[in-house]
Amino acid sequence: MDRTIVEKIISNHLAEGKMEVGQEIALKIDHTLTQDSTGTLAYLEFEAMGVPKVKTQLSLSFVDHNMLQNDFRNPDDHRYLQDVAAKYGIVFSRPGNGICHQLYLERYAQPGLTLLGSDSHTPTAGGMGMIAIGAGGLDVAAAMAGEPFYLEMPSVLGVKLTGKLAPFVSAKDVILQVLKELTVKGGVNKILEYYGDGVETLSVPERGTIANMGTETGATTSIFPSDETTKAFLSGQGRENQWRPLKADDGAQYYQTLDIDLGNVEPLIALPHSPDNVKPVSEVEGLPVDQVCIGSCTNSSLRDLKIVSALLRGKKVSENVSLTISPGSRQVLQNLAATGELEPLIQSGARILENACGPCIGVGQAPTSEGVSLRTFNRNFKGRSGTQDAKVYLVSPETAVASAITGKITDPRKLGRYPEISLPEKFVLSDSMFIDPAIKPTNTVRMGPNIKQLPSFTPLSDRLTGEVLIKVGDNVSTDDILPGGTDIMALRSNIPEISNYTFCRIDQAFASRALKKKGGFIVGGENYGQGSSREHAALSPKYLGVKAVIAKSFARIHMANLVNFGILPLTFTDKNDYEGIAMGDMLDLDVKELSDQLELKNQTKGSTIKVTLNLSTLEKGLVKAGGKLAAIKLKQAKKS
């Protein structure tokens, strides 16, 4: 039987279930990845499971998000992460080494393996021919403890790439074209598998960019073949022995297909405030720009910054623009320095930032009030930049440079001749900032005063009653539920404290009201919980007493996080019933039997509506137990 790449890898890692679309399956996980923003909580969860060492082939802990050290809180988290890594057998990437997804692609990604990461952009490794999935930290902790990862078997959407990109058009424009066609909901419960003769024209970093932003379609992950281009990249990294060819069989069948002629793609731009609000750059040219930021896990590779350097050579940044550049890793920075390509960036007037996420997650470089900021990042949600009324646009590195030079949104094709660049046959390598746990193991784990133990939650009661604490609209993101930024992110290891910021940008009184009312319900629209994998957006509401979220539909990772912490994710059986519930309504729900259809009583309105519980038997059991951690601890206790 002819199979897709997805089917080949899943069949080799299938622990439970059948590869039938919509059915629950369990995957054996080869590698795990955490970053410091989600990692401290993930390792607190792992420690609570009582497992002496990680059971994966490889687990990695990166520090790349909470990099500002304004007080003791972030440094304490970093020290805790390093200690945990040494104790439990995890490779630790020190602060300043680079962004987890860029580093993983360079030094650890291998075709044909599975990766589970506590970051929604983990699918970047799909550019190397991996099934790489973003998940909540508790799911990653469970994988480190040897548990399989459960998910609904996705359908495979084949994206056929033909032709070749024109000058000044890059991989960022390709994924913006995909987003324009699929929207931020079009990839839910799908894996995007790229194929066709156009694939071989794209380098591994370009494939990584496309796989990275496939997340914004809601897709489970994205994947590319492993071919001679993959082999050359691994060879340059000194890892040629880890290469294996991997492609779909000629007769493989896709659930759906999307055809993209690369030659017809033009420079594109995502307008505020959604990655799928895409238009040609030529249609919005001329708008004055205040800030341009180049970097993030999407566009900080050596390929990207070589192009940026070549385009900036001999030119100056407009006096009205602040241009920042964040290399994705120390390796990228070292290679730019070794070839003299760092100098044009400095001479142009660009600000070279640390090898970290930085502005992408609201840590530094907030735009001016009502400022226009062009970013090569993956998200432009309102307020994510740190300035609530800023207008953030997503663009390619080429469009970013053109606009930084002219001071206004500019089609990069007006820059003249497109420079020719090539990746080195052998990269300048330095792994000195990775710490091997085998070299200096320890049994001592130091916890600073801001690191609090996980709250414990009781099993689900037979009846849920309470008020609607808040009602929100469509596409509410995890940034809306529990924002990022320097002040809040420093509290990621302190659930009681960080819970005070739940919905703070939408309704500052939410946390105090939830505590006063002793919890209740949240009502949401379509695609509730889109965006990052931060499980704090589920755990903080749980701490405040939220019992269920009733929405028109959910984003995949957030729905899993709700289950993991014992919050019922319910959908309106008839979406029109959304209009019949208001903030402050008193609701009553009998959940003694967690059937697929439940009746929700609105005591305030005197009405009853049907809601759907689209969970597997296993997931229902997790909710009943009070969440995944409680269920795993019970399982471990039975084993011992």
Mean pLDDT (whole number) for 340-353: 97
Establish how many alpha carbons lie within 13 A of residue 137's alpha carbon, considering only the half-sphere containing its beta carbon: 25
List, in order, residues 6 or more apart from 500 with CB less than 8 Å away: 511
CB 80 within 8 A of CB 448: yes
**65: annotated active-site residue:** yes
- Confirm whether 378 is domain-assigned: yes
pLDDT at 222: 98
Structure tokens at 208: 């990584």
Q: CA gyration radius for the chain?
A: 24
pLDDT at 489: 87
- Confirm whether 494 is domain-assigned: yes
Domain that holds residue 545: 463-639
Answer yes or no: is pLDDT of 454 > 90: no
Token pair 């304004």: residue: 70
Mean pLDDT (whole number) for 209-226: 97
**532: annotated active-site residue:** yes
List, in order, residues 6 or more apart from 639 with CB less than 8 Å away: none
Give per-residue pLDDT as tens, 135-189.
999 999 999 999 999 999 999 999 999 999 999 999 999 999 999 999 999 999 9
- Break the chain down into helix, strand, coil percent, rounded to 5: 35, 20, 45
Average pLDDT, the chain: 95
Is residue 60 located within the same domain as residue 31? yes
How far apart (Å, rounded) are the C-alpha atoms in residues 174 and 338? 30
Out of 534, 536, 556, 558, the active site residue is 534
Name the H helices within 214-271. Answer: 228-236
Establish how many alpha carbons lie within 13 A of residue 583's alpha carbon, considering only the half-sphere containing its beta carbon: 10
Q: What are the angstrom distances between the C-alpha of 101 and each of 93, 294, 388?
A: 12, 16, 27
Token pair 């689209």: residue: 614
CATH at 55: 3.30.499.10
How far apart (Å, rounded) are the C-alpha atoms in residues 229 and 299? 19
Is residue 230 located within the same domain as residue 100? yes
Answer yes or no: is pLDDT of 316 > 90: yes
Is residue 285 located within the same domain as residue 260? no
How far apart (Å, rounded) are the C-alpha atoms in residues 162 and 160? 6
Token pair 């953030």: residue: 392
State residue 140 phi and psi, 5-degree precision. Answer: -70, -40
- Confirm whether 301 is domain-assigned: yes
- Confirm whether 104 is domain-assigned: yes
Burial of 588 from C-beta contacts in 10 A (0-12 / 13-18 / 19+): middle
- Confirm whether 446 is domain-assigned: no
A 10 A CB-CB count for 581 gives 21
Coil, strand or helix: which one is 516?
Answer: helix
Answer yes or no: is pLDDT of 486 > 90: no
Is residue 484 located within the same domain as residue 553? yes
pLDDT at 69: 87
Boundary of a domain, candidates 236, 264, 292: 264
Mean pLDDT (whole number) for 371-376: 98
**121: annotated active-site residue:** no
Answer yes or no: is pLDDT of 635 > 80: no
**351: annotated active-site residue:** no
How far apart (Å, rounded) are the C-alpha atoms in residues 115 and 101? 11
Given the DSSP bridges, would you call strands 372-375 and 31-35 parallel, antiparallel or unpaired? unpaired
The tally of domains found in the chain comes to 3
Number of residues that this document lists for the chain: 640
Q: Which residues of 537-567 are buried (b: 16+ CB within 10 A; e: fewer)?
A: bbbbbbbbbbbbbbbbbbbbbbbbbbbbbbb
pLDDT at 70: 87
Out of 30, 76, 119, 479, the active site residue is 119
Name the H helices within 170-315. Answer: 171-182, 204-213, 228-236, 302-312
pLDDT at 455: 86
Given the DSSP bridges, would you call strands 14-16 and 58-62 parallel, antiparallel or unpaired? unpaired
**534: annotated active-site residue:** yes
Out of 30, 36, 64, 479, the active site residue is 64
- Confirm whether 554 is domain-assigned: yes
Out of 65, 78, 121, 375, the active site residue is 65
Residues in a beta bridge with 379: none
The candidate with the shortest Cα–Cα distance to 236, out of 296, 172, 301, 298, is 301
Give per-residue pLDDT as tens, 191-208.
999 999 999 999 999 999
Out of 379, 413, 513, 556, the active site residue is 379
Q: Give 636's pLDDT tier (boundaries 50, 70, 90).
A: low
- Confirm whether 603 is domain-assigned: yes
Answer yes or no: is pLDDT of 54 > 90: yes
Given the DSSP bridges, would you call strands 372-375 and 391-394 parallel, antiparallel or unpaired? parallel
Out of 414-423, 452-461, 532-541, pick the least confident.
452-461
Structure tokens at 66: 């909470």
State residue 21 phi and psi, 5-degree precision. Answer: -55, 130
Answer yes or no: is pLDDT of 639 > 90: no
Boundary of a domain, candidates 351, 383, 415: 415
Coil, strand or helix: which one is 308?
Answer: helix
Is residue 127 located within the same domain as residue 240? yes
pLDDT at 594: 93
**3: annotated active-site residue:** no
pLDDT at 442: 86
DSSP 581-599: --TT-EEEEE-SS--SEEE
How far apart (Å, rounded) are the C-alpha atoms in residues 204 and 373? 28
CB 282 within 8 A of CB 267: yes
Mean pLDDT (whole number) for 332-356: 96
Burial of 405 from C-beta contacts in 10 A (0-12 / 13-18 / 19+): buried
Is residue 192 located within the same domain as residue 58? yes
pLDDT at 485: 83
Give per-residue pLDDT as tens, 409-446.
999 999 999 999 999 999 999 899 999 998 888 889 99
Q: Give the dihedral of Cα atoms 121, 122, 128, 129; nearest 10 deg.
A: -110
Is residue 482 located within the same domain as residue 372? no
Is residue 254 located within the same domain as residue 285? no
Is residue 217 located within the same domain as residue 291? no
pLDDT at 640: 64
Structure tokens at 214: 């496939």
CATH at 484: 3.20.19.10
Structure tokens at 314: 């001999």
The candidate with the shortest Cα–Cα distance to 606, out of 591, 588, 592, 583, is 588
Q: How far is CA 587 from the centre of its chain?
A: 33
Question: What DSSP state is assigned to residue 240?
Answer: G
Q: Is 0.75 topped by the overall pTM?
A: yes
Give per-residue pLDDT as tens, 487-516.
888 888 999 999 999 999 999 999 999 999
Is residue 86 located within the same domain as residue 187? yes
pLDDT at 439: 84
Is residue 170 located within the same domain as residue 286? no
Is residue 573 located within the same domain as residue 533? yes
Give per-residue pLDDT as tens, 89-117.
999 999 999 999 999 999 999 999 999 99
List, in order, residues 6 or more apart from 593 with CB less than 8 Å away: none
Answer yes or no: is pLDDT of 637 > 90: no
How far apart (Å, rounded) are the C-alpha atoms in residues 440 and 87? 9
- Confirm whether 84 is domain-assigned: yes
Boundary of a domain, candidates 358, 389, 415: 415
CB 84 within 8 A of CB 107: no
Give per-residue pLDDT as tens, 379-403.
999 999 999 999 999 999 999 999 9
Answer yes or no: is pLDDT of 576 > 70: yes
Mean pLDDT (whole number) for 573-596: 96
Mean pLDDT (whole number) for 38-52: 92
Q: Give 468's pLDDT tier (boundaries 50, 70, 90).
A: very high
C-alpha angle with apex 136: 15 to 138, nearest 5 degrees? 70
pLDDT at 1: 86
